Amino acid sequence: MAQEIEALTPYARSLGITVESWEDGIPILSVPFEETVEGRPEHYHGGATGGLLETAGYAALRAELGRQSREAMLKPINITVQYLAAGKSRTSYALGRVTKLGRRSANITVEAWQDDRTRPVATAVMNVLVASPEG
Amino acid sequence: MSEKARKFDPSKATSFLTGRGHAGWLGLQYSDHGDDWVELELPWREDLLGEEGQRVLASGPILSLMDMASGMAIWRAMDDFTAIATLDLRVDYVRPAREGASVFGRSQCYRLTRSAAFVRGLAHDGDAEDPVAHIQAVFMKIAAAPRL
């Protein structure tokens, strides 16, 4: 449980994101459809979907760093989000995959879906700076 | 084009658009606008912090701020309030925002076609010459026929 809470930032918790389950050591995150994520009526705001993707990307990276017993400060470099379908008024899920973890940076791909996991509503690719805790 | 000729006035529309939902939760406010650009303000909030112990605003709210400012820049450039959806959004986070500072998101719609709208913009924490992030995005008009 402590590990689950550590994976989420104050922003993520405030938005309503929680750890839904774990898959191969990586958390699947979810966010319920509430007013905090709503854009045009009954649909997700693009920013909320992006925030879920980004949070899932960091959670996947944290899990991989933990598996390698590496401590690191993470700093965002960039993110590119592709919106594939409108996010409807139901729970959304997201799972990240660390494509490459180097000494100084990580490349992560993330998918978000609702009812059908094989039909993602959005995907993202992120680069994250992986700095040593001292600096 | 004179202000009178415009139907979509960001200074008046912002409170309606950001009074509820995700934008309302973030507390987005009107800051400034031009013929084809809109700037919104995201006030500092403790519960929007990112990584523990860094006292830095999370990147998610900046993404939302830029998405919202971009949508409004498109409505401003179209001078119409029709349904649009984000297709692709890229954010480069060039430096952390200062602790305690509002972040301003300024986006410009530089090209409109029948179906698509292209925007670029930046986020800054007081000095637009020293941005915290740069963005580029494409939106689609939802009801439009799919031709360019």
Under the banding of pLDDT at 50, 70 and 90, the label for residue B2 is: low
Alpha-carbon distance A112 to A121, whole Å?
6
Q: Residue A6's pLDDT is what?
A: 61
Tell me how many residue pairs between chain A and chain B have CB atoms under 8 A apart.
Answer: 120
- Residue B88 Cα, gap to closest chain A Cα (Å): 5
Q: Once rounded to an integer, what is the mean pLDDT over residues B33-58?
A: 87
**Closest residue of chain B to A59, computed from CA coordinates:** B51
Determine contact, residues B147/B75, Cβ cutoff 8 Å. no
Residue of A nearest to B50 (CA): A9
Query: B36 to chain A, minimum CA–CA distance in Å?
Result: 21
Tens digit of each residue's pLDDT (9 = 90 or more) over A67-121: 999 999 899 999 999 999 999 999 999 999 999 999 999 999 999 999 999 999 9
The model's confidence at residue B3, banded by pLDDT at 50, 70 and 90, is: low
- Structure-token pair, residue B54: 């860094």
B120 CB neighbours in chain A (<8 A) are none
CA distance A23 to chain B (A): 23
Nearest residue in B to A127, CA atom: B92
Q: Which residue has the higher pLDDT, B19 or A58?
A: A58
Other C-beta atoms within 10 Å of A59: how many? 27
pLDDT value, residue A1:
40
pLDDT for B104-136, tens place per residue? 999 999 999 999 999 999 999 999 999 999 999
Lowest mean pLDDT of A3-12, A65-74, B68-77, name the range: A3-12
In chain A, the domains with their CATH numbers are 2-131 (3.10.129.10)
> Chain A contacts of B117, Cβ < 8 Å?
none
Does A48 lie at the interface with B, CB-CB under 8 angstroms? yes
pTM of the model: 0.92
Give pLDDT, residue A5.
46
Is A72 part of the contact surface with chain B (CB cutoff 8 Å)? no
Q: Do B50 and A83 touch (CB under 8 A)?
A: no
- Domains of chain B in start order, with CATH, are 3-141 (3.10.129.10)
Q: What is the pLDDT of residues A30-59, one digit of tens each?
A: 999 999 999 989 999 999 999 999 999 999
Three-state SS at B46:
helix
Q: In 3D, which of A123, A120, A65 has the Cα closest to residue A98?
A: A65
Tokens coding A128: 């994250």
* Structural contact between residues A99 and A108, judged by C-beta atoms closer than 8 angstroms: yes
CA distance B16 to B39: 16
Question: Per residue in A92-126, is it b (16+ CB within 10 Å) or e — as a string?
Answer: bbbbbbbeebeeeebbbbbbbbbeeeeebbbbbbb
Shortest distance, CA A43 to any CA of chain B (angstroms): 10
Query: Is A15 in the B-facing interface, judged by CB distances under 8 Å?
Result: yes
